[in-house]
Each structure stands twice: as C-alpha cells, then as structure tokens.
C-alpha cells in the first residue's frame, strides 16, 4: 500500500526529527527547515498534508499558508503552534488551515488530526479528478460533428464561454441544447462551481417560482421549513433554464429582476438575497411568436438573447450522422457491457436518408435499441424499426410527426413552411427577392411568413 506523504516544516531540528519518528510508520514524511524550502518542495512534489510551524525566521507560517492556498496546491495544512500563539493558529484556520496542534504534542491527538487531514486531502483530489473528467466529457472537442453549421455553433460558444454573458440556445427538441450549456459552463471560470439545470416544462406552474427562488417557512401549505431555491444553490456558478418558453409571465418578471439586479426574495419572504449566477436558457419554441401572442415577455427575451446560439436539426447536417452513429456504437457497447457492433452499408444508407424528427436524441435511442435487440456483431436493415424498413423514414418530418400523433396539423404546416423558406433562402444566398421568386410568391409575403415563423435574417 502506498503511504501518504507528509511535509514537516519547522525551523527546529529537534521538532522535525520528533515528528518524523512519530509519523514514519504510517506515512512517508519529508522535512523542510524553512518556509522558502517548503514552497520549493511543494511546487515540485505532491504532499497530502503539511505540518507547518507558525513562528519561523524568514517566511512565517501564515505567509506560507497563504502561498499554498493561492497556488491551490491541494495539500491540507495543519498549523504547529506553541500555547501562546493559539490565537494566531485560529486566524490561520480562517485563512484555510485544516486544523492546528499545540506543542508539546499529544501523539494520539496528532495522529488523529493527521489522519483526518489525509482523508480530507484524498477526498479533495478525488473531487478534482471527477471534475476534470466531467470537464473533458463536456469539452468542445467531445461534441461530435464536423458539419459547417455545427462548427459555427462551437466557434460561437467557445468565444462566449469564458464570459458571464447570458446565452439563449434555440433548436428543436433533441438537438443537444443541454450538452452545449454544459460545455459552456465547463469552459468558463465557473467550472468549479455548481451547474444546476431546471426543466421549466417539467415543474408545475404553481411550484416553479418556489423551486427557483426558494420559500420561507409557512409561505404556503406544506411549507414546513425554509427552503433555498436553485438561484441560491447556483451562487457563483451557472443556472441552466431549459424550456424557458414554458414559463408563465409572472415568473418571467422575477427572472428578469435577477438578471438585471442580481437579487430576489424567497416566496413569502421580505429579505433581499443577492447572488452571482450566470444564466443559460434554452427553448424549442418560437419566442418571437410568444412575444406576439403575449405568452413571453419581450424585455426578458432581449435580456436573455445577449448571445443567441441556434442548434441545427440533424437533417440539416447529414454529414454528421455516420460519425454520431459510430460514437454511439462505441459508447453503448461500453455502457451496456456488450461487444461493439456495426451496421451494414444498406442499414447505414437507410439511416442517412431518414429525416430524424427527434434529432440526435432519437438517433442515440435507435442505436441502443438496435444493439440490444439484434443478434450477432452486424446489424442489418431487418434490425431497424419497421417505419425505416418500409421507407416511411423518407417522409417529411412534419408528416411523420402528424401521423404519429406527436404534433398538430397547424404546427406541422408551420414546420413544413419553415423548411421550404430556409431552403429557398439558402439557395438564393439569403436574397429575399430571389427566394420569393423560387417559392412563387412576393417578397412582402415572404417577409410576413418569416416574421410569423420566427425565421431570422442572417446578421
């Protein structure tokens, strides 16, 4: 078993040797005679715990402690103090010391405090390792796809990630809005602080305000205790408001206040609470239409829409389908504990031709389903769902959604018109007059349709 490393820092040789003798059976002790020597060792080697004398010539213990904490070296610091400097040791704990022991040492007490500090250091390092792993998982490089549209999105979010700027992510359901929000958070200075996600559509309207802002005891029936809200819990970090288009106007007004003034009050409370929270919002709804019909506040929209990122539908970046399939095949094999499988070329052709109304989420689910239900290492056309085998996957996504009962006819018509207009604008290089000619209509009617459907002109 590897012994944990302890650094003993004291200018008295007798104290250093005594501590070394006490610790050597359980740990691997190293000694330093000054604060300067200790800092040199700490920058080149890793120690779990530092036993640090307060009174030393040159750099004293408090100065060394401050340097250790500034450099976030990961070691827990136990201050060594004479009885007359206990007050100084208490001050050191306020600066981040783990604990202190007084001279002369009680060996059992010393070993107990050191063991607690060792366990705490191990926990801190484990948390840091997990945080690093999560950061790698949500790095921009881990987002699959080389299509120009996706690369434009990644370029935009990589520029805005280090800032506190509010971001609004739009796109159809299943395009990966939450993944982008996490990538923004973990590439920001707030990566070590909380990232809290709230799905505004999943929480009943009468409970959403309490969930966001917390409540005082007795604020409403069943409010037996005071409860902090998600804004308080996200202080210093990021709050991701998914499906913000489903939020009622009264709660929208309170969100606006937080964005503008960085403060709020709990439900049933009168005390103003200040927070430092970055807000990232996402929606698959047309917020322009919401502003027109009064369901979404325009002042909140413009406050959220400081930087807007639109995630393209999977059918708009078909060159990313095969790389995504290979990515999911590898990950699902690992997660399910089964051998990796592959699709035949015929099956891949069908997957490439499908319109993917559920976007990346639908693709991921289909890959997992095929892997679980198929026999052998190769998945053929017969291992795909029936609607893909029979060619229904070639139908327009709006038609599929209506036939499956997933959307109303009027919404499907809007989806169809959106796609027609966007395709025409692309073909006409965003010249509205030319696009209107391609669609057999006038520029005025085209502009009306674009406003109605929330199609924003480039730039």
153 and 285 fall within a common domain: yes
pLDDT tens string 212-233: 998 888 777 777 788 888 999 9
Q: pLDDT band for 188, please (50, 70, 90 cuts).
A: very high
pLDDT tens string 4-37: 999 999 999 999 999 999 999 899 999 999 999 9
Mean pLDDT lowest among 16-20, 74-78, 169-173, 304-308: 74-78
User: With 70 as the cut, is the pLDDT of residue 83 above it?
Assistant: no
Backbone angles phi, psi at 394, to 5 degrees: -80, -15
459 within a domain of the structure (yes/no): no
324 and 199 fall within a common domain: no
141 within a domain of the structure (yes/no): no
139 within a domain of the structure (yes/no): no
Q: pLDDT band for 75, please (50, 70, 90 cuts).
A: confident
User: With 60 as the cut, is the pLDDT of residue 336 above it?
Assistant: yes
271 and 327 fall within a common domain: no
37 and 65 fall within a common domain: yes
User: With 90 as the cut, is the pLDDT of residue 68 above it?
Assistant: no
255 and 177 fall within a common domain: yes
* Residue range(s) defining the domain that contains residue 273: 146-310
140 within a domain of the structure (yes/no): no
Query: What average pLDDT does this structure show over 330-344?
Result: 92
Mean pLDDT lowest among 304-313, 368-377, 398-407: 398-407
416 and 279 fall within a common domain: no
389 and 415 fall within a common domain: no
295 and 187 fall within a common domain: yes
Backbone angles phi, psi at 412, to 5 degrees: -65, -40
Last residue of a domain, one of 310, 344, 378: 310
Token pair 């003034």: residue: 261
Please give the Cα distance from 433 to 244 (Å, whole number): 34
Backbone angles phi, psi at 217, to 5 degrees: -60, 130
458 within a domain of the structure (yes/no): no
Q: pLDDT band for 132, please (50, 70, 90 cuts).
A: low
160 and 259 fall within a common domain: yes
- Give the CA diameter of the chain: 95
Query: What average pLDDT does this structure show over 64-88?
Result: 79
pLDDT: which is higher, 333 or 91: 333
Q: Which of 373, 398, 375 is nearest to 386 (CA)?
A: 373
Distances in whole angstroms, Cα of residue 423 to Cα of each of 287, 394, 427, 428: 22, 18, 6, 9
126 and 183 fall within a common domain: no
413 within a domain of the structure (yes/no): yes
91 and 218 fall within a common domain: no
User: With 60 as the cut, is the pLDDT of residue 357 above it?
Assistant: yes
Last residue of a domain, one of 276, 310, 344: 310
pLDDT: which is higher, 58 or 387: 58
11 and 99 fall within a common domain: yes
User: With 90 as the cut, is the pLDDT of residue 113 above it?
Assistant: yes
Q: Which of 328, 384, 310 is nearest to 354 (CA)?
A: 384
CATH code, 417: 1.10.10
Q: Total domain count for the chain?
A: 4
């Amino acid at each position: 078993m590897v012994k944990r490393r302890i650094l003993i820092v004291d200018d008295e040789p007798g104290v250093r040797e005594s501590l070394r003798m006490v610790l050597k059976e359980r740990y691997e002790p190293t000694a330093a005679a000054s604060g300067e020597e200790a800092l040199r060792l700490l920058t080149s080697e890793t120690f779990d715990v530092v036993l640090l004398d307060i009174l030393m010539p040159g750099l004293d213990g408090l100065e060394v402690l401050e340097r250790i904490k500034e450099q976030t070296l990961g070691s827990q610091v136990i201050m060594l103090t004479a009885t007359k400097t206990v007050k100084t040791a208490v001050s050191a704990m306020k600066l981040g010391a783990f604990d202190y022991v007084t001279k002369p040492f009680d060996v059992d007490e010393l070993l107990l405090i050191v063991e607690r500090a060792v366990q705490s250091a191990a926990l801190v390092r484990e948390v840091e390792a997990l945080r690093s792993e999560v950061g790698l998982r949500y790095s921009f490089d881990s987002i699959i796809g080389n299509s120009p549209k996706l690369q434009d999105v990644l370029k935009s979010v990589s520029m805005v990630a280090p800032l506190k700027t509010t971001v609004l992510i739009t796109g159809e359901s299943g395009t990966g809005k939450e993944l982008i929000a996490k990538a923004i958070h973990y590439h920001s200075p707030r990566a070590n602080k909380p990232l809290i996600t709230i799905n505004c559509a999943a929480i009943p309207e009468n409970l959403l305000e309490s969930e966001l802002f917390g409540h005082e005891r007795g604020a409403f029936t069943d409010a037996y205790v005071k409860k902090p809200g998600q804004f308080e819990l996200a202080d210093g970090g990021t709050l991701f408001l998914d499906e913000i288009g489903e939020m009622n106007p009264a709660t929208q007004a309170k969100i606006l206040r937080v964005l503008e003034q960085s403060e709020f009050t709990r439900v049933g409370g009168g005390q103003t609470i200040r927070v430092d929270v970055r807000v990232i919002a996402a929606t698959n709804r047309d917020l322009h239409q919401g502003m027109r019909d009064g369901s979404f506040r325009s002042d909140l929209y413009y406050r959220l829409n400081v930087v807007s990122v639109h995630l393209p539908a999977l059918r708009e970046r078909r060159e990313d389908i095969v790389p995504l399939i290979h990515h999911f095949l590898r990950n699902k094999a690992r997660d399910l504990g089964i051998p990796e499988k592959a699709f035949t070329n015929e099956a891949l052709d069908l997957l490439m031709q499908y319109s993917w109304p559920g976007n990346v989420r639908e693709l991921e689910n289909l890959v997992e389903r095929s892997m679980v239900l198929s026999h052998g290492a190769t998945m053929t056309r017969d291992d795909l769902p029936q609607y893909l085998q029979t060619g229904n996957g070639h139908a327009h996504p709006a038609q599929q959604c209506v036939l499956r009962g997933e959307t109303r006819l009027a919404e499907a018509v809007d989806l169809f018109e959106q796609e027609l207009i966007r395709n025409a604008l692309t073909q006409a290089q965003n010249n509205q007059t030319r696009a209107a000619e391609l669609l057999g209509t006038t520029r005025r009617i085209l502009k009306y349709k674009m406003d109605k459907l929330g199609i924003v002109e480039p730039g």
